[in-house]
Amino acid sequence: MKKINIAIDGYSSCGKSTLAKGLAKALGYTYIDSGAMYRAVALYALRNGWMNETNIDEEALKKHLHEIHISFEPNSQGGQDIYLNGENIEKEIRSLEVANAASRVSTLKFVREELVRRQQQMGKDKGVVMDGRDIGTVVFPDAELKIFLTASPEIRAQRRFDEMKSKGENPSYDEVLSNVRERDYRDTNRAESPLRKADDAIELDNSNLSIEGQLRWAIDMFNKITKGNE
Ligand code: DC
């Protein structure tokens, strides 16, 4: 069967990566976490002192952007981890500090242009499930299947809170909720490629859906779209 590209966009902590990973596994496609790429750039900027809580040294970041090599390699759990210049940074980029920094570097036009270029390259042979904020609108405007996921901020904060707890972290729910709201605001109000549903995306509010339920729904959508495409 001819492979397609699948774009999954939506707010932070909406279950995009869970759905994208599940779909990729079920279909034998490659999963690409575009948000992890923004997080990798943010981590590099933080480590080099080019950004702090209030400022970003855009000139320095622009000058060194080409040094930031990002790759995805399979891990022992059957998923994949992100590498920054050969170092596995999968765990480090999941902190709230890096999440906030990623949300800020993702507002910069030159960062977006470079990462979009790399993402398009990764999808050129199709067979990719990519999740993010601008996949259906900018990265793969021709993706055959586009899904826009939503869920209430409270439900998303609870999911992120549970996930962090299960990893042994000790966040406060209110802090996680305000972080979700802050990122929603920034993601939808930035000048460069703000988060929005592509006109031809199918919207799914998964507030009351199980992980299996949303995967079944997405596989149904995939089957409908690829029918007659064999
Ligand atoms: O999906 P995530 O939380 O890992 O994404 C980290 C940040 O990067 C988030 O604030 C939004 C931004 N992002 C983006 O602007 N475009 C993408 N395609 C993916 C993520």
189 lies in a domain? Answer: yes
Residue 190 pLDDT grade (very low, low, confident, very high; cuts 50, 70, 90)? confident
Closest C-alpha to ligand 1, atom 11 = 103
Residue 93 beta carbon below 6 angstroms from any ligand 1 atom? no
Q: Read off the pLDDT of residues 25-73 as tens digits, 9 standing for 90 and up.
A: 999 999 999 999 999 999 999 999 999 989 999 999 999 999 999 999 9
Would you say the CB of residue 134 lies under 6 angstroms from ligand 1?
yes
Predicted confidence (pLDDT) per residue in 89-123, tens digit: 999 999 889 988 998 999 999 999 999 999 999 99
What pLDDT sits at residue 202?
97
- The structural domain count of the chain equals 1
* Ligand 1 atom 7 nearest Cα: 103
Choice from 12, 43, 148 to test ligand 1 binding pocket (greatest atom count within 8 A of CB): 12
User: Measured in angstroms, how far is the CA atom of residue 227 from the centroid of ligand 1?
Assistant: 32
- The string of pLDDT tens digits covering residues 149-161 is 999 999 999 998 9
Residue owning the nearest CA to atom 20 of ligand 1: 35
On average, the pLDDT of the chain sits at: 94
Give the SS3 label for residue 58.
helix
CA of 132 to the centre of ligand 1 (A): 6
Domain holding 184, by residue range, is 6-224
Give the Å distances, CA to CA, from 20 to 55, 75, 121, 173, 191. Answer: 33, 17, 19, 26, 26
Place of tokens 């930035």: 190
1 found inside a domain: no
230, part of any domain = no
Q: Domain with 169 in it: what CATH number? A: 3.40.50.300
What would you measure as the largest C-alpha separation in the chain, in angstroms? 53
Report yes or no on 71 lying in a domain.
yes
Measured CA distances, 66 to 21, 55, 100, 138, 188 (Å): 28, 21, 22, 21, 27
Q: For ligand 1, say whether the CB of 133 is within 6 Å of any of its atoms.
A: yes
- Report the b/e string of 177-210 with b at 16+ CB within 10 A: bebbbebbebbeebeebebebbeebbebebeebe
| 3-class state of residue 18 by DSSP | helix
Decide if 47 is inside a domain. Answer: yes
228 band by pLDDT with thresholds 50, 70 and 90: low
Any bridge partners for residue 83, and if so which?
71, 88
| Predicted local distance difference test score (pLDDT) of residue 113 | 98
Query: Phi and psi dihedrals of 169, rounded to 5?
Result: -85, 165
Best of 103, 119, 134, 139 to mutate for ligand 1, by most ligand atoms within 8 A of CB?
A: 103
User: From CA 159, how far away is CA 189, in angstroms rounded?
Assistant: 24
- pTM comes to 0.92
| 18 domain-assigned | yes
Best CA proximity match to 98, nearest among 44, 57, 42, 52: 42
Place 230 in a pLDDT band, splitting at 50, 70 and 90: low
DSSP state of 138: I
Residue 147 belongs to a domain: yes
Which residues have CB under 8 Å from 87's CB, separation 6+?
none
Residue 76 C-alpha to ligand 1 middle, in angstroms? 25
**Residue 141 within any structural domain of the chain:** yes
